[in-house]
């Protein structure tokens, strides 16, 4: 049932982004070029754009440390750096909880080492908090609201951010390393990126023993 719901969300998100999202299209949108070239002067927009770059890093740590099932996680994790939730939702639709085959992880050793590194996860947390603080204290929420209405890119990336937060909750809940923690720990995912990183830090040693 949950996979069917995510399938509906995925198709709805694609349809909305392509045909219904308001604002100027990328080719006619100066905000799009300002953001992708990192030249935007609006802190709130730059912060959101940066957070959407940090989210795939956190999800890569979550998925690649357990990439030994029948559905490989690495193509979806890699695509998420450009497509965000568009790329990650199909993985959770295809993956079944009983898919584990106990083969060796597909992820390179250095990736697994990063995924279980407490120092790396703490640095990611601090970087995320710095970006959030920059956006909140240096940004103009009114300017962000105007951009949300006038730029299709800003509109879609904002919705993408919300879906990634919800997907964090679901991803923690479905994570094979979650035990012995209760399902309630999935609520950490409601803290954008930081909650997912806290969960990864709490379960980092289980990567060695699972």
Query: pLDDT tens-digit profile of 68-87?
Result: 888 999 999 999 999 999 99
What span, in angstroms and rounded, lies between the C-alpha atoms of 45 and 35? 8
What span, in angstroms and rounded, lies between the C-alpha atoms of 13 and 159? 9
What span, in angstroms and rounded, lies between the C-alpha atoms of 92 and 182? 20
DSSP letter at 139 equals S
User: Which residues contact residue 208 at a Cβ distance below 8 angstroms, ignoring those fewer than 6 apart?
Assistant: 116
Extents of the domains making up the chain: 2-209
Give the three-class secondary structure for 93.
helix
Confidence (pLDDT) at 27: 80
Give the three-class secondary structure for 151.
strand
What span, in angstroms and rounded, lies between the C-alpha atoms of 135 and 52? 13
Confidence (pLDDT) at 210: 42
Q: Which residues of the chain have pLDDT under 50?
A: 208-210
The CA-CA-CA angle for residues 131, 82, 116, to 5°, reads 65
What span, in angstroms and rounded, lies between the C-alpha atoms of 126 and 123? 5
User: Which residues contact residue 73 at a Cβ distance below 8 angstroms, ignoring those fewer than 6 apart?
Assistant: 63, 64, 66, 67, 91, 95, 106
Confidence (pLDDT) at 179: 83
Confidence (pLDDT) at 79: 98
Give the three-class secondary structure for 24.
strand
Give the three-class secondary structure for 203.
coil
Confidence (pLDDT) at 203: 94
Confidence (pLDDT) at 209: 41
């Amino acid at each position: 049932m949950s996979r069917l719901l995510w399938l509906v969300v995925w198709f709805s998100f694609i349809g909305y982004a392509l045909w219904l999202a308001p604002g100027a299209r990328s080719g006619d949108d100066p905000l799009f070029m300002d953001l992708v070239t990192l030249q935007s002067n609006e802190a709130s927009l730059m912060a959101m754009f940066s957070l959407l770059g940090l989210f795939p890093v956190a999800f890569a740590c979550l998925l690649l440390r357990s990439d030994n099932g029948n559905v490989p996680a690495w193509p979806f994790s890699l695509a998420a750096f450009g497509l965000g939730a568009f790329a990650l939702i199909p993985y959770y639709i295809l993956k079944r909880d009983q898919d584990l085959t106990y083969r060796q992880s597909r992820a390179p050793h250095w990736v697994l080492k990063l995924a279980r590194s407490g120092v790396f996860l703490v640095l990611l947390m601090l970087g995320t908090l710095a970006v959030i603080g920059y956006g909140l204290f240096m940004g103009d929420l009114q300017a962000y609201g105007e951009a949300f209405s006038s730029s299709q890119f800003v509109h879609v990336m904002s919705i993408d951010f919300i879906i990634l937060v919800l997907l964090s909750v679901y991803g923690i809940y479905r994570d094979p390393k979650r035990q012995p923690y209760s399902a309630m720990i999935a609520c950490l995912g409601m803290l954008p990126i930081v909650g997912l990183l806290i969960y990864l830090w709490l379960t980092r040693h289980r990567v060695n023993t699972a």
